[in-house]
Amino acid sequence: MQITLYYYGKIKQRYLTEGIYEYKEKISHFVPLAIKEIKDNPKLLSKEQKLIKLPIDEKTLSSSLLITLHERGKNFDSQQFAAFIQNAHQRDLTFLIGPPAGIEDKTIHHAHLTLSLSKMTFNHEHVILILLEQLYRAYTIINKFPYHK
């Protein structure tokens, strides 16, 4: 199993970069993790600046579970999210965080799951850090580490 996290745009705040690096290191004790920036590309965006094309190759799409993040996605508590990851049965997980305007509905339909981290709206840079913290929490739950309380 491997996790790949794609995000659109640059991370501008140093404290976020540091937090992302810290959680990447922690998660890597449990599972290989790759974090990939999707460079600004007008061909990937609609005129409303929503992601309309998946920047992920067909091989990755066919071999992994694609999980898009969207405010109208499914909400899990931490235990449920850990169970979802555990039930992925060693398949690779590919997470996709779109640009600030979001992801087009027809693009979201390619996903195996559309996930919402909250009913609140977050800056897409913060979503990366929040998702990584939740992934780390899920792996500590799965492996019965004392982090989750």
User: Is residue 130 helix, strand or coil?
Assistant: helix
In-domain check, residue 83 = yes
Angle at 107 between CA 8 and CA 103, to 5 degrees: 40
Domain count, the chain: 1
In-domain check, residue 138 = yes
Question: 136 and 46 in contact (C-beta within 8 Å)?
Answer: no
**pTM of the predicted structure, to 2 decimals:** 0.92
Find the domain containing 68 and state its range.
3-142
Contacts of 18 (CB under 8 A, 6+ apart): none
Look at residue 137 in the predicted model and tell me its pLDDT.
97
Residue 106 has pLDDT above 90, yes or no: no
In-domain check, residue 77 = yes
DSSP string across 35-73 = EEEE---GGGB-TTS-B-S--S-HHHHHHEEEEEEEEEE
DSSP string across 1-25 = --EEEEEES----HHHHHHHHHHHH
In-domain check, residue 148 = no
- Over the stretch 10-59, which tens digit does the pLDDT of each residue have? 899 999 999 999 999 999 999 999 999 988 788 888 888 887 787 777 77
End-to-end CA distance of the chain: 26
CATH of the domain at 14: 3.40.1280.10
In-domain check, residue 149 = no
In-domain check, residue 147 = no
